[in-house]
Amino acid sequence: MTGRKGQRWKKAGLFLLFALLVGGITTVLYCFYLSFEIEKRFSGRRWQIPSRVYSDVTLLYPGQRLNKGLFFQKLRDLGYREVPRNPEMPGEMRILPESLALFLKDIKMTGKKRKGFPLLIRFEADQIESLERRDTGQVLPLMEMEPEALMLFFGPEREQRRLVSIDQLPRHLIHAVLAIEDSRFFHHPGIDPIGMARALVTNLLSGGIRQGGSTLTQQLAKNYFLTPKRTFSRKFKEMLIALTMEALYDKKTILEIYLNEIYFGQKGSVSINGIGEAAQFYFGKPAQDLSLDESALLAGLIKAPNRYSPHRHPQAALKRRNRVLRAMFKEGWISGKQLKKAQSLPVRTVGVKRYGKRAPYFMDYVSRQLSRLYPREVLSGMGLTIYTTLDTQVQRAAEKALAHGLARLERRHPELKRLNPSERLQGAILVMHPKTGAILAMVGGRDYSASQFNRITQARRQPGSTIKPFVYLSALDTFTPASLLSNEPRTYTVDGHFWQPKNYKPVFRKHLRLKEALAQSVNLATVDLAMRIGLKKVVETIHKFGFSTPLRPYPAVSLGAFEVIPLELATAYCAFAADGVEPFPLSLKEVYDENGKLVKRKYMTLSSVIPPSKAYLMTSMLQYAVTHGTGRSLSRRGITFPVAGKTGTTNNYRDAWFVGYTPEVLALIWVGFDDNRSTGLTGASAALPIWAELMTAIKHRISRNVFKVPEGIVKKRICVESGQLAWPDICPVTEEEVFLSENVPKRRCTLHGPNYGLRIMRKRWEKWVPETEEGGP
């Protein structure tokens, strides 16, 4: 009996041993398999990092005029927080009536790295008086503000994170996380039986799940390889993975991966992952700058980021933070004094800024260019840093000017109001640097949420009179600004049809000087000029400026009766402002990979289309157009610095344009309906006021410098009646005019002359004599 029993026990023991052996071998094999899986996952790309798009940097220098409202808003957008004392930490600022004290943030760009420092900007009215380092007292000639983040290219998982190295993180942050999540992290092999037992006892005593027994490694294993489903087999797998991970990697590496992986809450539809992103999201600062209380708050979030969110539940967040602080004290990682001080601090976070698109039309334009360079998955996963040309102050001013301008038009002309958002009066603005070609701002429509159609890059609209400068330019070899043009009505035959152009408003003079005809935008004189120089030449000139839209040599071409893309029109005008050099429009500047290596760069590219002298002549005539022509209302709208520009109105008032520029900035404004309905508005009444509002707002871009006179330009005094060289002190009304040195009028005024005084006297005498006879006694 006993023998049988003993044999049975022996068999059971053997079976158990066999089962354990098989189980052990299976476990070892499974762990072996897991090690491959873990290595595969960790040796490859651990995270999908969305690419970030930034604006251009902003330069500040003494003497620069500023729109303080725009500038302070920019600082807020950059994450600078107002404090009631002198700033002590990066990202703080204090606005005073005549100065601004701020602690600059670090700039970490390739080719430009700068450690943040305290700066004092003194103002004199709307100008920067001085820039001074508050720490050293050094007066700075120039200062660069960091670029603004504009957009992120998310992948389908919509995760956002900024990677941090564990070596950069403050010790108190690591201690805070360990204290609340896994205080024995550095003492267990991946699973913590003591911690598990403690959690079991706590949970049994409380009658519910109050404490989890998972180590950091287990949490990481769960996040990386398993589903959140709570089953025994999943828990077993989690432990095996944790053990394998610990066997493969050292504690520091595991902790670093954990801190970069863990979920810290939600920003709209985007999840905030990793301590680096969480530090920026909740406190607007890099993780390495987190204070003790901030570190404790973030560590407390790990358990339930939404329940302890300082944005939504500040009281719960405060309690949780203090619990973390107490745990740190208990572990001996902070002193009683530190605990007391940190616990007394309120919860201070930065406001939530959604990852909404800033400058959405511009971003669409940039995205299209990027998609030609990189596939979608690279943009959403490779963590590229993309710098653009956008000036956020100009963009904000442009958006505001367009919104104001269109609302003002609807108020004054209620017939323009439409209830349907897709039928509303539309407008678009493009601002460029005429020399570098940098796109400073782009507003492709009134409301991006209602219509994503970009009226700057995608629309094809008739340019109307804004094309006239190119007609006049075509004539400059033979005509001069003083040449007389006919303003008499004529009928032209086009493809067997009669065409009779008309002036927009009556001009009673039979002849006008070329400069006057352009300034007043006189249609009859323009068509006369185009016919005299030949339509072929006009079309050639327009093509030379890079217009891609089809164009046929009809007389109406000279009045802008064909379609153009607004971006191309603005770029063509750049050549007038930039001494005949047409730049390539730039929106994308530099692309860096996640290691900060430059992978793509777009450079300033110039293409000479006309000689500088001709460009200057056109600028001179377009300056006259804003001082004496259709743009003359600019002066009473606060434009008191040198500008050149041209209004444009198309047939039946479908489009209203204004393109104007200074030596440093060019802006194009378009107003109209998408479906080509008439607005009843001219360029001068609809587009020009928007241009003026924009230009007065972007003070930092306006130098008030004059257009410099290039070689090949001469000045002569002309008789305004004949357009010929004036007889000194004979011609009754004269004016100084600029000419190309190779095309100066040679003839003196034939209308007046040396004997003009005699002729006048004779005329007066003849007039007077009969009067005398009649009036005799």
- Applying CB under 8 A, the residues found at the interface with other proteins are 59, 61-64, 111-112, 127, 141-142, 433-436, 438, 578-579, 581, 590, 598, 601, 603-606, 608, 612-613, 663-664, 703-705, 708-716, 720, 728-736, 741, 754, 756-757, 760-761, 772, 777
User: Could you tell me which of 374, 393, 391 has the C-alpha nearest to residue 153?
Assistant: 374
Q: Cβ closer to other proteins: 675 or 711?
A: 711
Least Å distance between CB 394 and other proteins?
A: 12
Q: Is 410 a catalytic residue?
A: no
Contact 493, 481 (CB under 8 A): no
Least Å distance, CB 105 to other proteins, is 20
CB of 77 to other proteins, least distance (A): 21
How far is Cα 101 from Cα 116, in angstroms, rounded to an integer? 13
Catalytic residue among 55, 309, 465, 474: 465
* DSSP helix/strand/coil, 253: helix
CB of 481 to other proteins, least distance (A): 15
How near is the Cβ of 406 to other proteins at its closest, in Å? Answer: 30
CB of 383 to other proteins, least distance (A): 21
DSSP label at 608? E
Q: Which is nearer to other proteins, 176 or 572 (CB)?
A: 572
- Using alpha carbons only, give the angle 658, 664, 666 rounded to the nearest 5 degrees: 20
Measured CA to CA, the distance from residue 609 to residue 48 in angstroms comes to 45
Q: Which is nearer to other proteins, 163 or 730 (CB)?
A: 730
Q: What is the dihedral of CA 443, 447, 449, 453, to 10 degrees?
A: -60
Nearer to other proteins, 62 or 469 (CB): 62
- In this structure, which amino acid lies at residue 77? D
Q: Is 155 or 712 the residue whose CB approaches other proteins more closely? A: 712
Q: From 713, 709, 688, 734, select the one nearest 513 (Cα to Cα).
A: 734
Q: What number of other Cβ atoms are within 10 A of residue 443's Cβ?
A: 27
- Return d(Cα 687, Cα 678) in angstroms, integer: 15
CB of 534 to other proteins, least distance (A): 29
Continuous segment of H or E residues that includes residue 294: helix 292-301
Q: How far is the CB of 63 from other proteins (least distance, A)?
A: 2
- What is the Cα–Cα distance from 50 to 245, expressed in whole angstroms? 27
Min CB(764)–other proteins separation in Å: 9
Nearer to other proteins, 349 or 607 (CB): 607
Closer to other proteins at the Cβ: 446 or 699?
Answer: 699
- Separation of alpha carbons 769 and 173, rounded Å: 107
User: In whole angstroms, how close is the CB of 591 to other proteins at the nearest point?
Assistant: 13
The residue among 691 and 707 lying less far from other proteins, judged by its C-beta, is 707
Give the whole-angstrom CA distance, residue 377 versus residue 769: 95
Give the residue from 221, 279, 259, 238 showing the smallest Cα distance to 41.
221
CB of 571 to other proteins, least distance (A): 16
The distance of closest approach from Cβ of residue 735 to other proteins in the complex, given in angstroms and rounded to an integer, is: 5
173/574 with CB nearer other proteins:
574
**Nearest distance in Å: CB 642, other proteins:** 12
Are residues 546 and 572 in contact, defined by beta-carbon separation less than 8 angstroms? Answer: yes
Give dist(CA 373, CA 366) in Å, integer: 11
Q: How many residues does the chain have?
A: 777
How far are the Cα atoms of 34, 237, 245, 542 from residue 27, in angstroms, in the given order? Answer: 10, 10, 15, 77
Active-site residue identified among 132, 146, 181, 294: 181
What does DSSP assign to residue 706?
P
Helix (H) or strand (E) holding 713: strand 713-719
Minimum CB distance to other proteins smaller for 325 or for 432: 432
SS3 63: coil
The full DSSP string for 76-144 is HHTT-EE-SS---STTEEEEETTEEEEEPPPEEETTEEE---EEEEEEETTEEEEEEETTT-PBPS-EE
Contacts of 572 (CB under 8 A, 6+ apart): 470, 545, 546, 547, 582
Contact 264/301 with Cβ under 8 angstroms? yes
Beta-strand pair 666-672/655-661 = antiparallel
Among residues 391, 390, 554, 531, the alpha carbon closest in space to that of 462 is found at 554
Minimum CB distance to other proteins smaller for 634 or for 731:
731
Tokens encoding 639: 């434009």
Which string of DSSP letters, residue by residue, matches 537-585? Answer: HHHHHHHHTT--S-----GGGGGT-S-B-HHHHHHHHHHHHTTTEEEPP
CB-based contact 263:247 (threshold 8 Å): no
Q: 3-state SS of 440-497?
A: EEEECCCCCCCCCCCCCCCCCECCHHHHHHHHHHHCCCCCCCCCEEECCCCCEEECCE
Closer by beta carbon to other proteins, 500 or else 605: 605
Beta strands 118-124 and 99-103 are antiparallel
Q: Is 399 a catalytic residue?
A: no
Type of residue found at 244: T
3-state secondary structure of 672: strand
Residue nearer to other proteins on the CB measure, 193 or 757:
757
Residues identified as active-site: 181, 465
